[in-house]
Amino acid sequence: MAAIFMRLTPSQISMLHLLGRPLPFCEGTGWTLKDRIQAGYVALVEETGQDFGFDPERWHDYLRKTNAGGYRWSNKHLGMPKLIGEVVRDAAWCGAVEELRDGT
């Protein structure tokens, strides 16, 4: 499984973190869901110079169109819509995003 993740591009890693996915090879120990989401958001802003907040659909659309950070390399981006659909309905993810928006 780790070999699969090692083939991710920077923007793919950032998107997965924005979606709250744990990626042990590139995150600190003890990261919370909020930590992952925040790290993904910050990295995406730094990588692209854009700011779509915590809206994974807008990030995905932008990254897909521009290929920023090598997003379309290896077609891993093709699985993102399914993951996005899952997280936007996930109460824990939505709660963490709301806390980040509120600054708590």
Q: Residue 3: pLDDT band by 50, 70, 90 thresholds?
A: very low
- Its domain, for residue 88, covers 11-20+32-102
Specify the pLDDT at position 94: 97
Specify the pLDDT at position 6: 59
- The answer to whether 8 touches 76, Cβ cutoff 8 Å, is yes
- 6-60 pLDDT, tens per residue? 588 899 999 999 999 998 888 878 999 999 999 999 999 999 999 999 999 999 9
- The answer to whether 60 touches 81, Cβ cutoff 8 Å, is yes
- The answer to whether 77 touches 14, Cβ cutoff 8 Å, is no
Residue 92 lies in a domain: yes
Domain total in the chain: 1
pTM of this structure: 0.89
Residue 3 lies in a domain: no
Average of per-residue pLDDT across 77-85? 88
